Every structure is written in structure tokens, then in C-alpha cells.
Structure 1
Amino acid sequence: MNLRQIEVFRAVMLAGSVTDAARSLHVSQPGISRMLSHIELQLGLRLFERRKGKLQATPEAQALFAEVEQVYRGVARIDDCAQALKSGKMLTLRVLCSPSTGLDMVPRALTALGREFPAARFYVEVLMARDMVKRLAAHEADVAISTLAIDDPLLNARPIGQWTLAGVFPKGHPLEARRTLKPADILGERMIAFSPDTPQGRIIADWCLQHGCQPDAQTEVRAGQTACALAAAGAGVAIVDDLTARGCMTDRLSFRPILKAPSFDVFAVTNDNFAASLLTGRFIMHAEATLRQLKNERA
């Protein structure tokens, strides 16, 4: 029996008559009668006895119907599973992110994704770029959001937005009166600097070199969050990425964008050897939208 024959047989069993079965399937009564005759001929079984214009199922039909109902229950379970997957139930998204994106940008994107898929589960971990590569290559994560370019033959990294530089300083500092900061505004202050072997340190060093400035740095750090904490405590002024500046805002810290500061890409990174899940695709879309929103807020 093919699926159409099974459907017609079940409809007749449930309706108890050819007329009602035809009505439920939106087909003609003669078509149902012909199909029943064909099924009985094909199976070599008499499935119904016709008495006084009504159909009476034979024991063979009852036995066959029991098996058909099991199939339909299985189909119903498949449909339930598909609907659950569509809503995010039974699905997990494993997200890796750079420290700066893990403060504000990724949480916003995941919050939006959680509203779209309330039954989904998320796992989030903040890592350095080199550790993201290892985890993604081993398929121990579904997607990474990186502020540094990642070049690996197994991975696909596509830009989804940009970050730039900002100056952070304690609340009430004279720089707070400015809407944007010029290089001379910030480099003339006592600086909290990044170690020269860090990505931020290299970027800021190049930027200072372009402007012919050598910052007066009393304190050296390796992380943007540490720089923000020191600035909030009054230890000096720091240049950090604007994602970290926004994510570290407290009532003791302020930040301003730096005029004509360079911009750098934010990347969504996945493993090319594995198809992206629904959650992965939607998360990347939300991450891209969040970066656009942050850019508008900066403006």
C-alpha cells in the first residue's frame, strides 16, 4: 500500500462510510470506492462488507487499521519534533566570543535570539582568538564572534560589523565635556596602556605612531576591562575598543569616541565542514543587527 491508499483506507475506517470519507478528503465518492476496490484486489483481502448501504470492516481490516494507526502516530511524533525544532526546543547553541563582544554585544544578540526561540538553550564562553580556532576546528562550538581576523582553512570568517577606538576616563573628568576626542586630547593625559605584545597594544601603538605621539603611560594592562576599571578608579585615561568601553560603563566611568579613529571588522566564524543550524544562522543575524544598533548609538 502506498501513502495515498493508506490515507483513503484510514479515512473510511474512521468515517464508517465512503460518503463521509470522501467528504473528509475532499474527493469524489466514486474515487474512494474505486480506491478501496483496488486496495482489496492488490492485497488479496476483503476489507469491508457492504450491508444495506453501509461498510462493515472485516477482522483483517481491523488488524490492518491497528498498524496504520501506529504509522500515523509516528507521523504525528515527527511533526511534533519538527515543530519543537522550529521553536528551538531540543536545540543548543554553543557560542564563543572575544572578551569585548562578550560584555554587551553578544549578550544583546543572545537575548534577542532567546525571545525568538524561548525553548532553546545557549552555552557562551569568552576566549582568545587562538582558542576559538581550536574549539571550532574540533566542532566543540557552533559559532564564534571575534574582533580579530581568523585565517584557518577549516573555518569561515565573515565580517558582520565593525569596532573602533574610544577614550575612557573617570566620571567628572574634563574630557567629559567633549562629544569626540582628538588624539592630542587623550594622548596628553596620564595613560593606562596596553602591553605592546597584545593586539590592542599593537593597534594603539600604530595609531599613536601615525599621530607622532608617545603616550605617558604609568600603568600597563593586558585587557580592556582592566583598563576601564583602572580609569574608573582615577588611575588615568585609556584607549580601548568601543565595545569594551560601552560594556564597562558604570556611574564612575565615561567614554567618548575618538575622532577619525581606525575601524576594524567583527567576524562571525563557523566551521565550513558542518552545516549551520537554524540557531546559528539566526544568532549571526541578531549579532549583525546588534552591531548596526551599536553603531547608530555611537553616532
Structure 2
Amino acid sequence: MRDTCSRELTSLARSDPRIVILSGDIGNRMFDGFKEEFPDRFYNCGVAEANMISVAAGLALSGYRPFVYTFAVFDLTRCYEQIRIDLCFQNLPVVIIGLGGGLTYAPLGPTHYLCEDISILRCLPGMTIVCPADKAEVMAALQSSLIHPGPMYIRINKKNEPCIHTGKLDFSLGRAHLIQDGNDVCIITTGVLLSEVIRAADILEEHNISARIVHLHTIKPVDELMLQEIFSRFSIVVSVEEHTLPGGLGGMIAEWMADNRIKSSDLVRIGTGDYFLTCCFTQEKARDHFGISAKSIANKIVDELKHE
């Protein structure tokens, strides 16, 4: 995802002179190609992330399309006031690219991994939140951001993510993707955890459980038509996310259910625990620990269906 992001921004910048990149002192080598072609359109803002957001706001007010890039934990938690006032209050078209949202950087501990980013941003008026599952959706999200009128957060993983989509991708902000159909249970997920959910569905198939998979690449605004269709059809709906349960994908769906008085279906939420990891795990081991690996997801669904 990281390299795809760099290549796509460089490609888009060739035909759009408004594109500028601001980095929080990381990813500079990754953007060597961009800097070589557009040396006056790359700004290394150093470890001053709050200032970087304000600089991006100023560039947006001057007619540019700024892309802010650094670790998600740094360009969100250190900059909340600037994102809220400089970007959202003024509804400026600045794209925040959060590298390593979720458990990508679990090996570096709680100072570097971030499982609260969606909940941090969901409550901000005007903020659009996109969680691509693979490089095809990263490219599509970046392309869509250039015609989006307000602030946007794009959560990306680091590298080696499985390619889910092949061929031409039909991508629109706020519209979900149906990955596979099924009859017994519907699994809704977002971001790079989609690959684990697909493997979980294969395990469920061995138990004669047919799982529908829906990918909400856009958390805000959400595809309400898709949710209406899902909850009119399935008695059990499962949300799966590489994010803490409070305020994330499952929390958003639960709020939607309450607002729409959905009583015919049960929602099962699967995500990371409401606590910090105190050990430095790999992303895979962290997923096992929190019960969001393919096997754990499948086992949880099997148990739920047994008690239906």
C-alpha cells in the first residue's frame, strides 16, 4: 500500500499541478520519484505534525490539494485541534494519509500502533474516512479525493497486503463493495482485515456455513442502503475490524441500528480490546491476541450461530 500510494500520487501530480505532499519527516525516500519530478511540491515539515496540518490548511486555502503523510498515530493524535479547526471547521480539501492505522506497527508498541483512529475522527463534522483493503482501493481512494470538497482520512497498511480486487474497480466514496454473497450470516468489515475475513469465510464453509462478505471501504459517510439491505435479510450480522470496539465500525453500525430501530437482527462486534498491548507483537500475533485472525473470527461466528 505504501509504495502504491507514492506511485499513484506521483502519477496524479503529472496532470494536476495542485497536488503537494507534506511529510512528517518519514517516507522521504519513498517519495524520491515525486521529489525528482516536483521538487517544489514536497515539504518535509519535520517532527512538528500539528504545524504540518496548519501548513496544509494554508496551502488548501491557496488553491492546492495537499496530501499529509506520516504515521497515523502522529498525524492524528498530535494534531486533533488543528484537524478539527483548521481542516474540518473550514471544510478544506486536505487528505491525511495515516500510515499504519490498526496493528501494522504493533511491533513498535503502543507509541506507534493506533487502533482508535476511526473513533477519533468519526465525530468530526465533515470528515470523510476511507479504509482501503488493498492497493487497488488505495489508488481509487486517492483518485476520488481530488474531486472531494472536504477533508479526508485514508488509513493505509505498510506492505505485502493480499490483492483482493482484480480488473477494473467500481469505486465510489460512501458505497460498499459486496465481496461474496452468502445465506447464513453477513460479515461486514473494513480495511486490510478483509483478507482475514475472506479466509474466515472459507473456514466457515467447511462448517457448512455460507457467509456473505461486505467491505465498507468508506466508514463515513456509510452506505446506508447497503446496511438496510443487509439487516432486512440476515438475522445475525457480524462486524469485524482491526480497531477498538468503542467508536469504530461496529459502534457506527450499532448507532445506525438504534437510529433506525432495527430489532429483527443481532449484531456481533469483533475488534481489538479496550486496552493497550504491553508486549511488542507482530501484526499477525497481535491479531491472534485480540481474536481477529481468520480462525478466531470463524470460531466466534460458529459459536454465535450455535446459540441463535
- Regarding TM over 0.5, the answer is no
Structure (1 or 2) with the larger CA radius of gyration: 1
Structure possessing the higher relative contact order (Cα contacts under 8 Å, 6 or more residues apart) = 1
Q: Name whichever structure is richer in helix by fraction.
A: 1
